[in-house]
Structure 1
C-alpha cells in the first residue's frame, strides 16, 4: 500500500500523517479546518486537499483520527464522505477512540462497499504520536490487518490485532479503565506524602524502584508535584473515553465502580477550570478539597 489518505490532523493525526510522508508514502490529507491541511503540506511531502473526496480517491488506505462517534459519521457518510469517495479494495483504518458500536457499524458499511475496515485506537498520547511510538489495538479481519500493518508500523511501537471489528475499541476501553484507577491512586499517594510533610520527590525516587512503579509515576509525578498540567491528554477527552467505557460496561454486564467514581472526580476537575488539563490533574482536586 503506497497511497494513503489521512483524515483529521489534530495533535495525534498531524504527526502520524507526517510519519507516513517521511516513510515515502504518497500522502493526501484533509482536515475540517483547511488551514491545518495547508500547514501540514508545507511541512511534509504530501498534498493538502480541500475535500474528503479529493483526499480518498484511489487511495490504498484511508486513515481517520477525529474526535468521537458523531465526527466519524460526519466524515464517513454522505455524498462527500469516505464511503462514497474511496475505491473498492481500499482498507479504512480508524484511529479515533470511539465506541465499539460505531466500529462495527462502519465495518459493515465498508464491507457493503467492497472495502476493508480496521478499528485501531491508539495509546501513547501526543508524545507517542510525535515520536512514532504509539501502541495500537486493532479490530477487524486478519486479511485487512495484514494489508495495513506495515503502514501503521511507521508510527507504532506495539501493534496487535485483538479480534473482529470493535475489538480494538474494547481493548482501548480496558486501557482507559486501568489508567483511571492508577492516576487516582498516584494522586492520593502524592497528596498523602505532601500532607505528611515528606520530601515528595525523594519518596517517588524510592518507591519508583519497587512494585509501585508505573508509566504515570515515571512520566507525570514531577509535573504533578509542581502543579503543572498544561500538557498531555486532556480531562475532557478522558471523560469522553470513560463515558464510552461505562456505556459498554452496561451492555456487557461489567461492574466498574472505580472507573465511575474517577469519572465524577474528573467532573470536579472540569468544574475547577481544568477541562484541558492533563489527566494527572486529579491531584489538584485533592489539594482543593483537603
Structure 2
C-alpha cells in the first residue's frame, strides 16, 4: 500500500461503490463515505467502520484521495464542483479519481477545476460489473499524468485486477467507450445465437458448452448464458445505464467521424427493451426482445 495515502473519501455507495469502498476499509485505510441516501452510508459504516458524512465536502475534508462513483455527468458535477461538492473540501496536493462512466468532456472539465486548486485528477472508469467489484477484480482504465497515476494505483489495485494508465486525461473514458461498443455487439450476437439455437430445437446449454471452448467464447457467454436461457434478467448491469453509456459513445463517435453502425442499431434494440418495461433488466435481456418478436 502506498504509505503516502492513509485516508480516502468514497463518494457514491451504489452496487459498485459499496463493495469498492469496502475493499479499501479492509486494506486498513481510513475511509470517509458519502451517499445521497444517508441510510446506505450508515449501513456501510456499520459493516466496514470508517465514518459517513452529510455532504461530499465533509467527506473529502482531510482525505488525501477522493474517489467518486456515481451515475452520470450531472451527478459527478453535483458531488464534485457543485455546492458542498468534494472539491470545496479537498486540500492542495490531494487527488481526485472519478470512477463514473462519463464523457471525456467531463474529464477535461474536472481536470481544469482540479488544476485551479492544485489537486490532481484521474478519470478511471471501471469494467467488470457488480461481481468484479465484490471480488476486487475490476478492470480500471485511467487517464491522467504518470505522477498522479503512480500515487493512485496502489489504492485502486485493492479492487482492480488490471489498473492501466491509457494516456492523458480523458483517455480512460475513451477506452471505456471502446469497451461498451464491443460489449454491445457481443451481447447482441450471443442473444441471436441462443435464439437461433432455440428455434432450431437444439439444447442451448449443450450448444454453449461446445462453442464456448472455441473462437465464439467470451465473458458474456461464460457469465450470462445460463440466465439468458432461463429468461432471468433481474440482475446485472441495467439497460438504462447501458443506453446512457452508448449515448456517450455515439456522441463521441460523431465528433471523431467514427462509424458505429452496429452500436447504433443495438442502442435502438435496447430502446425496444425499455419500451417492454426492461429498463432495469440486465443488458443480456436482448434475448427476451428476440423471443417477444418471435411470438408476434
Q: How does the TM-score come out when normalised to structure 2?
A: 0.97
Give the deviation of 1:14 after TM superposition: 0.5
TM superposition shift of 1:112 = 0.8
Give the whole-Å Cα distance in 1 for the aligned partners of 2:276 and 2:59.
41
| CA deviation vs aligned residue, 1:54-104 (integer Å, no higher than 9, x gap) | 211121100000000000111111341112111111110000000000001
The equivalent of 2:6 in structure 1 is 2
Correspondence 1:248 to 2:245:
no
3-state SS in 2 of match to 1:63: strand
Answering whether residue 146 of structure 2 is matched by residue 176 of structure 1, we say no
Structure 1 pair 239–78 and aligned structure 2 pair: CA distance change class (3 A):
closer
Distance 2:274 2:252 in 1: 23
CA distance in 2, matches of 1:70, 1:78: 10
What RMSD, in angstroms, separates the aligned Cα atoms of the two structures?
A: 0.7
CA deviation string 1:16-61 (max 9, x = no partner): 0010000000100001111111111000021111122221112110
User: Which of the residues 131, 154, 165 maps onto 1:161?
Assistant: 165
Aligned positions of 1:1-290 closer than 5 A = 1-290=5-294
The 1-side partners of 2:278 and 2:83 are apart by 39
Query: Do the aligned residues in 1 keep the contact of 2:56 with 2:80 (CA within 8 Å)?
Result: no
Q: Distance in 2 between matches of 1:100 and 1:37?
A: 29
Contact (CA 8 Å) 1:9, 1:30: kept in 2 or not? Answer: yes
Aligned residues: 290
2-structure distance, mates of 1:79, 1:31: 15
Structure 2 residue ranges without an equivalent (≥5): none
CA offsets 1:114-151 (integer angstroms, 9 cap, x no match): 00000000000001001110000000000000001000
Distance 2:213 2:31 in 1: 44
Q: Is the 8 A contact 1:107 1:165 kept in 2?
A: yes
Partners of 2:166 and 2:27 in 1: CA distance:
26
Contact 2:212 2:218 in 1 (8 A): yes
Change (3 A) 1:78 1:227: closer
Equivalent-residue separation in structure 2 for 1:19 and 1:27 (angstroms): 10
SS in 2 for 1:154: coil
Question: SS of the counterpart of 1:255?
Answer: coil
2:58–2:86 CA contact under 8 A, matched in 1 = no
